[in-house]
Chains A and B, each alone.
Chain A
């Protein structure tokens, strides 16, 4: 039995560009060494300008996403306005820390655009927010993707360039991880458009 975070596998990565952000994830859902499905969704659209990527134990991914969806719906109804990405990033940190002694086994990445400014934050499983870097990774293949990102990334890329770089970093990283892969999905968010691209990868 390996770790709880290695039970289902999966990798996610987020990057900042010039007035745009990109998120990418793999598509594998497995149970230790078996693969159950190759079309599992790990990046969720919380609002038109906020994306939430989750990696870790899939049941907690699903539960945590449902919890965040509930929070943002309640916020919209109570406050009658959209939530800012920085507010949502803090909300995720608080929601994770609330379960400090019985945590969700997820490592989220929040990405959003606040009046054109890109916001990107990642957390450990108990809500330590880290938002100073221009790219963040999570999941079993995270450490391999770190290496690829450090090499390929440069600041202030355009949305088209960012899409290529994040796609290549994800694929390079996942190729070295047995528990991630089976396809990739890249989301690029600009102020008026969300582009979703399903990558063709090695089918293993």
Chain B
């Protein structure tokens, strides 16, 4: 039994032990809590010499804003970034997984990662799960084949196009992109266009909001601007604070546990990695 547990643990992948119990509960009529979704507006714009991607920063759980300033632009490789819409947990963990997978491959092959590699790997992973892994990504990067921009849907479909938008605010953003996109934009023009498109999503879509993040990838490198625009900053500070007197809340009992200060240090030598 022990051996079997260890074997399953080392195999990796998903653990379905609770699936049957959860199905029974659903059949009895219980409703699940909504997962944190990134309602989202994300856009990608190809320009002369690179690609720009932008995203809003709101994460929702049902109709509550779960995170006012989450990060939706993920690194997959030093030259490839992904903007994600869909189920937040899936996005975060899948992007982290692919980041690690690509890094391992780079260390083995000693070559830069390519955008079409990422697309193939992603779609091969997503298709067998029939859309249950809720990731809708815009992948953009500059590699040996030049700047490329593609979008991947949760079912495993991919599209290459000079401008993309995804998420609940995609239609609002698409309006701006369809009207104002041209071939041969400069980097600054592309950034401005992307920000305008996200703005449209933020103001017209309830699932998108807060701030705008932008990343511009060129052959020279990556320019990441976190919160380049903020529309919802707290405009007033509390004038009268609520100072609670110390030890005012009535207590039945109080316990104190003292312990030694924890010194958390790295043990051993750091591994040398030549990339």
Contact = CB atoms under 8 A, between A and B. Distances in A.
A129 B260 CA distance: 29
B35 A125 contact: yes
A113 B254 CA distance: 21
A133 B22 contact: no
A1 B242 CA distance: 40
B266 to A, nearest CB: 9
A126 B87 contact: yes
Contacts of B254: 195-198
Given A82-B264, A160-B247, A4 B257 contact: no
Interface residues on B, range: 35 or more
A193 B256 contact: yes
Contacts of B87: 126, 128
A195 B256 contact: yes
Given A99-B17, A132-B70, A193 B35 contact: no
B89 A4 contact: no
B196 interface: no
Report whether over half of chain B's contact residues are helix, strand or loop; otherwise say mixed: loop
B7 interface: no
A100 B14 contact: yes
A168 interface: yes
Interface stretch (A9-17, A103-111, A174-182): A103-111
B246 A160 contact: yes
B53 interface: no
B30 A1 contact: yes
A160 B87 CA distance: 38
Interface in B9-42: 14-22, 25, 28-33, 35-36
Interface of A: 1-5, 7, 48-49, 56, 79-82, 84, 93-94, 96-105, 107, 113-115, 123-130, 132-133, 143, 146, 151-152, 154, 160-161, 163-165, 167-168, 171, 183, 186, 191-200
13 contacts: A4-B32, A4-B33, A48-B260, A49-B262, A102-B18, A102-B22, A126-B90, A129-B92, A152-B242, A171-B249, A195-B255, A198-B251, A199-B250
